[in-house]
Amino acid sequence: MKHVNSLINETSLYLLQHAHNPVNWYPWGSEALGIALSQDKPILVSIGYAACHWCHVMERESFEDEATASLMNEHFVCIKIDREERPDLDHLFMDALQAISGQGGWPLNVFLTSAGKPFYGGTYFPPKRFQNRVSWTELLGQIQNAYQTRRSEIEEQANNLTEYLQNTNKNDAQKLGSLNLPFEELFTKQQTEKIYNQLMAAADRVEGGFGNAPKFPQTYSIQYLLRYHHYNQCQPAFEQATLSLKKMIRGGIYDQIGGGFCRYSTDTYWLAPHFEKMTYDNALLVTVMAEAYQMTGDIEYKNAINDTISFMKREMMNNEAGFYAAIDADSEGVEGKFYVWTKEEFDELLGDDAPLMADFFNVTQQGNWEHTNILRLKHSTEEWAILNQLELTYAEALVNKSKKILLDAREKRPRPATDDKVLLGWNALFNQTLTKSATALSDPDLLALAIKNMGYILDTFYLSGEEKWKHTFKNGEAKYDAFLDDLAFLVQSLLFLYEPTGNLQYLIKAADITKYIIEHFSDEDELYFYFTSSFQNDILVRKKDLYDGAIPSGNAVMAWNLHRLAILLDIPSWKKRSENMVELQKDNIIKYPNSFGIWATLLLAFVQGTNEVLILGPGAAAAAFKFLKKNVPNSVLMASEIVEKGYPLMDDKKENDMLTYYLCKCYSCLLPVLSEEELMKQIAV
């Protein structure tokens, strides 16, 4: 029997995957919430995303089962949410679940009262009781019974939980008084040392990364260590950062023949990932690798950057240079099937080269994962060539030839599904990646792609008729009001793109969007920003997201944006707000830097001070593009052929026909110089 439910009219791939379940799913909205109130039924909210392996497992086991669906339909109003379309609801209900049980993850299943207040939840539940885990149908029965017989207890629990969620949003009034202390007393070198020590205490010195399995890339922590080394010549920080990047590049978390990184590794060795590929992971990893390449010139970073961007262009880019959200972990109902190899397949494809390449890619008869092989490297190509007494040029040619053969063969397999919605925030993150990679690699084609992608973003996600920014785009329709992350990342990407292009329109747009954010997202103290805008009225609690999780905190990025824009535009109130935001989070940053990595890097920048660089005169944009190849973190750059009035770095400068470089701090400039080499000497002092 063919079922169709209310999700059939949605555009989200994840919701459409559930449109033919016998469960009578609704999208989040007034219809479902109204039915729950009118019928006085509890609400089941189930949240996941298209590339989520365990979401698919629970669907097959429970949501496609007629008897289970009948139980759900009879006793609950069932709502499906794509966490990537509605991250606000995902964050809210994930906070509720963590308060209830201390756990989190997807699928996220939360039960609400008919008034929409959460009272219980969990993640994956099996179809039959397994070890100590209750089955899904048992849980449904328990919840339904409790809702009928212990309603007052459930209402009280829901009210208490809602009050808790509201209270977590309040600023610490006791700390607000410290915000008037002198700057040099607020942010100190000793604090940055404590952050470094905390990160290193959690570091895996053998396999890279931080903590035990499962291992996430934690790119912000790696970036902090790189910059801490830059300022303090701290070799252990540098070694941990580069070890972590190298282990990921050589591991199974990285697609060795197609490029691109998966979300995380299930083991400590970076071998076995959950195989979904997300735009944001690849954006964040490539950006920090571009910084590592600036510091080292290491070819492994360059290759990983180029191959990952090639993957994104090949498999994740639409015709207008927008980037899709994700590629699924599963194909043909099996996780990772698209990516793994048997020894027989491998040998048949590579023929006489197979023995050498099996050694290179760690392919064995018994396999390294579930009787198959995930391709990974034990050595760089150069190291492997030396071990096998091969000329480097021959080894590189052999590797590239083998990769092409394997990739061509893999392309003939049934593909995992691509989640082809385009998200504003994730595109903004990848735009930064393109800009940073373009300058680090001196690649004007990547800069041209960044410019094209930015044009697509600005044309697609702003609806001039509504005077609103939108979050997601698919099938010709931009939907849902933009969230803080979307706009914070967009401002940051505009600021990055302004520097190598010298196009003032990017800077002006960044300032305009910042004013929009301040107007529509600011909290009551005008300190932090809510995740949702003042336009939005379908959420129980407006959250303030402060943790740097899988993607950076919108508040952390806004603190960075305000600091940078305050310098470029001379807006002291924005500078002070940025400093206050960091100061109020300082204790958390120092104690838990793995969860506050972007904040930590900004605190480090405050301590070190900001280089204000102006390049003025003929060929300024080309000179800026060249300058940005260097590793000069925590610098603000303006480049212009003429003096533009109204910008403090240019206000007192005179035009001449010589390209001139200025280094300033707090608008106080050293004597101008006429070459990049002389500028770098000034910066090094």
User: In 102-211, where does DSSP find H-type helix?
Assistant: 136-149, 151-167, 183-186, 189-201
State how far the Cα of 259 lies from the Cα of 308, in Å rounded to an integer. 5
Burial degree of 102 (CB within 10 A; 0-12, 13-18, 19+): exposed
User: What is the pLDDT at residue 1?
Assistant: 59
Backbone angles phi, psi at 478, to 5 degrees: -95, 130
More reliable by pLDDT, 222 or 103: 222
Spatial neighbors of 475 by CB under 8 A, at least 6 apart, are 11
The total of other beta-carbon atoms located within 10 Å of residue 645's CB is 7
pLDDT in tens, 443-480: 999 999 999 999 999 999 999 988 999 999 999 999 99
Q: Yes or no: say if 471 and 480 are a contact pair by the CB < 8 Å rule.
A: yes
State how far the Cα of 86 lies from the Cα of 237, in Å rounded to an integer. 37
What kind and span of H or E run contains 121? strand 118-122
Q: Is the pLDDT of residue 612 over 70?
A: yes
State how far the Cα of 561 lies from the Cα of 495, in Å rounded to an integer. 8
What are all long-range contacts of 570-574, with beta carbons under 8 Å and residues at least 24 apart? Answer: 570/648, 570/667, 574/514
Q: Is the pLDDT of residue 598 over 90?
A: yes
CA torsion, ordered 363, 365, 370, 374, to nearest 10 deg: 10
pLDDT in tens, 95-138: 999 999 888 899 999 999 999 999 999 999 999 998 788 999 99
Mean per-residue pLDDT of the chain: 95
User: What is the pLDDT at residue 117?
Assistant: 96
Q: Among 370, 372, 371, 346, which residue's Cα sits nearest to residue 360?
A: 346
Share of the chain above pLDDT 70, in %: 99
Q: Which residue has the tokens 């629970």?
A: 58
Tokens describing residue 273: 């990932």
Q: Among 601, 423, 603, 424, which residue's Cα sits nearest to residue 513?
A: 424
Q: Yes or no: say if 42 and 144 are a contact pair by the CB < 8 Å rule.
A: yes
What ranges make up the beta strands (E) of 245-308?
264-265, 273-274, 277-278
State how far the Cα of 586 lies from the Cα of 264, in Å rounded to an integer. 28
- 1: Cα separation from own chain's centroid: 41
Spatial neighbors of 258 by CB under 8 A, at least 6 apart, are 307, 311, 315, 407, 410
Q: Is the pLDDT of residue 186 over 90?
A: no
DSSP 269-333: TS-SEE--EEHHHHHHHHHHHHHHHHHH--HHHHHHHHHHHHHHHHHSB-TTS-BEEEE-SEETT
Backbone angles phi, psi at 115, to 5 degrees: -85, 0
Helix (H, G, I), strand (E, B) or coil at 436: helix
Q: Is the pLDDT of residue 585 over 90?
A: yes
Q: Is the pLDDT of residue 180 over 90?
A: no
For domain 186-338+417-609, the CATH class is: mainly alpha
The total of other beta-carbon atoms located within 10 Å of residue 650's CB is 17
Burial degree of 571 (CB within 10 A; 0-12, 13-18, 19+): middle
What kind and span of H or E run contains 481? strand 477-481
State how far the Cα of 26 lies from the Cα of 143, in Å rounded to an integer. 20
Q: Among 483, 371, 358, 361, which residue's Cα sits nearest to residue 428?
A: 483
pLDDT in tens, 300-341: 999 999 999 999 999 999 999 999 999 999 999 899 999 999
User: What is the pLDDT at residue 292?
Assistant: 98
Q: Which residue has the tokens 């020894």?
A: 343
pLDDT tier for residue 173 given thresholds of 50, 70 and 90: low
pLDDT tier for residue 169 given thresholds of 50, 70 and 90: confident
Q: Among 487, 536, 492, which residue's Cα sits nearest to residue 513?
A: 487
Q: Is the pLDDT of residue 523 over 90?
A: yes
Amino acid at 405: I
228 CB-side CA count, 13 A: 31
User: In 502-544, where does DSSP find H-type helix?
Assistant: 504-521
Spatial neighbors of 152 by CB under 8 A, at least 6 apart, are none
Q: Is the pLDDT of residue 261 over 90?
A: yes
476-to-162, 314, 461, 479, 658 alpha-carbon distances in Å: 37, 21, 11, 10, 48
Share of the chain above pLDDT 90, in %: 92
Q: How would you classify residue 666: left for phi > 0, otherwise alpha for psi between -120 and 50, otherwise beta?
A: left
pLDDT tier for residue 193 given thresholds of 50, 70 and 90: very high
User: What is the pLDDT at residue 132?
Assistant: 80
Q: Yes or no: say if 430 and 326 are a contact pair by the CB < 8 Å rule.
A: no
User: What is the pLDDT at residue 650?
Assistant: 94
State how far the Cα of 396 lies from the Cα of 384, in Å rounded to an integer. 10
Q: Is the pLDDT of residue 537 over 90?
A: no
Helix (H, G, I), strand (E, B) or coil at 166: helix
pLDDT in tens, 637-681: 999 999 999 999 998 898 889 999 999 998 999 999 999 999 999
State how far the Cα of 455 lies from the Cα of 452, in Å rounded to an integer. 5
pLDDT in tens, 553-567: 999 999 999 999 999
User: What is the pLDDT at residue 130?
Assistant: 84
Q: Is the pLDDT of residue 177 over 70?
A: no
State how far the Cα of 311 lies from the Cα of 257, in Å rounded to an integer. 10
Tokens describing residue 238: 């540098």
pLDDT tier for residue 10 given thresholds of 50, 70 and 90: very high
Instruction: Give first-to-last CA distance, the chain, whole Å.
Output: 75
User: What is the pLDDT at residue 182?
Assistant: 77
User: What is the pLDDT at residue 628?
Assistant: 98
Pick the CATH number of 6-167 from 3.40.309.10, 2.60.450.10, 3.40.50.450, 3.40.30.10: 3.40.30.10
Spatial neighbors of 515 by CB under 8 A, at least 6 apart, are none
pLDDT tier for residue 2 given thresholds of 50, 70 and 90: confident
CA torsion, ordered 14, 284, 470, 483, to nearest 10 deg: 90
415-to-322, 418, 548 alpha-carbon distances in Å: 21, 9, 32
Segment 138-144 shows an average pLDDT of 96
> What are the extents of the domains in the chain?
6-167, 186-338+417-609, 352-410, 612-684
Segment 71-82 shows an average pLDDT of 97
pLDDT tier for residue 179 given thresholds of 50, 70 and 90: low
Q: Which residue has the tokens 């990160």?
A: 199
Our CA angle for 417, 422, 428, nearest 5°, is 130
Tokens describing residue 680: 């770098």
pTM for the structure as a whole: 0.95
Segment 141-148 shows an average pLDDT of 96
Q: Among 512, 526, 525, which residue's Cα sits nearest to residue 469?
A: 512
Tokens describing residue 684: 């090094």
Q: Of 59-73, 91-105, 143-157, which range is least confident?
A: 91-105
State how far the Cα of 447 lies from the Cα of 424, in Å rounded to an integer. 19
Q: Yes or no: say if 140 and 76 are a contact pair by the CB < 8 Å rule.
A: yes
6-167 and 186-338+417-609 have identical folds: no
User: What is the pLDDT at residue 384?
Assistant: 97
The total of other beta-carbon atoms located within 10 Å of residue 448's CB is 13
